[in-house]
Amino acid sequence: MLIRFSDHFTCKKLLRITFPSMVMLVFTSIYSVVDGFFVSNFVGKSAFTAVNFIIPFLMILGAVGFMFGTGGSALIAKTLGEGDRERAGRLFSMVVYASVALGVVLATAGFALLRPLLEALGAEGELLENCIVYGRIILLANPMYILQYEFQCLFATAGKPALGLYVTVAAGLTNMVLDAVFVAVLPWGVAGAAAATALSQCVGGLVPLVYFALPNNSLLRLGGMKPEIRALARVCANGASELMSNISIPLVSMVYNLQLLAMAAEDGVAAYGVLMYVSLVFQGIFLGYSVGVAPVVSYHYGARNAAEVRGILRRSLGLIAGFSVAMFAAACALAQPLARMFVGYDQALYDLTVRAFGIFSFSFLFTGFAIFGSAYFTALNNGLVSAVISFLRTLLFQIAAVLLLPLVWQVDGIWAATAAAELMAALVAGVFLWLGRDSVVVGGAPSG
């Protein structure tokens, strides 16, 4: 069954159009976990700690891809809804070219700042050197890393979500196979894991670049473009919430790591790393759904079909509630098997990780609502509300919780911090959605 953006969207159609994006984001998260699995089991706990320590910094640099992807997707899909396909193509090309240029600049800056930043965060000795080796190799592929995340959003906007899934699977398989070769077979250790990830990012970034540069049957194609500074600024402003979210997550992870180093030493950091890997996979469901549905919302917003937008919102909230319960149940059931898979070789670390899982799992009951709420307002080109939700969810609430709760519950307070922050963020998202219940978007949407 062919689904067009202009269709009426039932729950079945929403799941059909968002399924490739959900699988794509989950698969991306799974192959991001592969490095940790191989390093932990074939190199050791110290190297595993180093990978977990450096990843937040690298995620900040790659976060630009989500900014361009989500902000660009909203404006491009809205332009398609207005019937101006030619301008939509020019906007698409401008967004891609700008992200490549910025990726090169960020990679260069990353090389210069990596060591002093890690030293300022307290890394030293073997931990510091392993972080630098891993980080510098990944930085070489940073422009492709940005494009990979960007195209995960833009494939849906181009009407080709399934193709985006195929590219992601190809990149993921590249990472998995090369990790097995470079880490498990060849004695390349942390450097091998980094090389496997960098090469997989090149697959995820270059293949879509070539596809859109050649003649294709999607809604978009790379070509010439006329610089539109105001439009680019609008893309960046609208995508700022996703940029903030993706920057805040690693920044908050650094705060968690510092707290855990002080209260639970390296075992705490390693256990938190396992939680983050699982969290990335589970959140991929919510992120994938939000990425997949966003261009549909933007299209109907551009077409001034407010009734359809409100219907999509109602059905989406019901689906998110179902996903949330399923994610919580899965996290509770998989706590021991996943802890055993990553750190089963160390009984004390295993016990700590299982206990952390039991507390952390409650966060999945609330995460999806805040993620979707932020993405919904981005899709409606309301970057301000989206940014407020994202800022509170990923930065303010998280840091407040991880600094305050351990004063009462010690290490358990650290594991509970994410659930507390996600609950507060879900409540905030609910307030904004309630305030906008009688209009398409707070402050300026067509009312139908």
Q: Tell me the average confidence (pLDDT) per consecutive run of 10 residues in the chain, 448 residues long.
A: 73 88 78 72 76 76 81 86 87 92 90 85 78 89 89 84 84 88 86 89 92 89 84 84 72 81 80 81 88 88 86 94 94 88 82 90 94 89 84 90 92 92 95 74 39
In 240-382, which ranges are continuous DSSP H helix? 240-302, 306-343, 347-360, 367-379
Read off the pLDDT of residues 353-384 as tens digits, 9 standing for 90 and up: 899 989 999 999 999 999 999 889 988 878 78
What is the CB neighbour count within 10 angstroms for residue 117?
A: 16
Helices 142-157 & 85-120 angle (0-180, nearest 10): 140
Cβ atoms 241, 379 nearer than 8 A: no
Residue 204's nearest CA partner among 239, 152, 259 is 152
Q: What is the DSSP string of 45-95?
A: HHHHHHHHHHHHHHHHHHTHHHHHHHHHHHHHHHHHHTT-HHHHHHHHHHH
Q: What is the DSSP letter of 218?
A: S
Q: Phi first, then psi: give them for residue 305, nearest 5 degrees.
A: -105, 75
Q: Tokens in use for 82?
A: 């207005």
**Rg of the chain (C-alpha set):** 21
- Per-position DSSP letters for 7-25, written without gaps between them: S---HHHHHHHHHHHHHHH
Residue 124's pLDDT is 75
- Residue 361 has what pLDDT? 92
CA trace torsion 361, 366, 372, 378 (10° rounding) = -110
d(C-alpha 121, C-alpha 241), whole Å: 26
pLDDT in the model for residue 98: 92
Q: What residue has token string 């592929």? A: 141
**What confidence score (pLDDT) does residue 427 get?**
96
Q: Kindly state the tokens that stand for 30.
A: 């799974």
pLDDT reported for residue 314: 92
Identify the pLDDT of residue 441: 43
| pLDDT confidence of residue 82 | 84
CA pseudo-torsion sign 36, 207, 141, 240: negative
Largest CA distance in the chain: 63
Q: Are 145 and 61 in contact (CB under 8 A)?
A: yes
How far is 357 from 353, CA to CA, in rounded Å?
Answer: 6
- Residue 14 Cα distances to 2, 151, 302, angstroms: 13, 20, 19
Q: Note the pTM of the prediction, 2 decimals.
A: 0.72
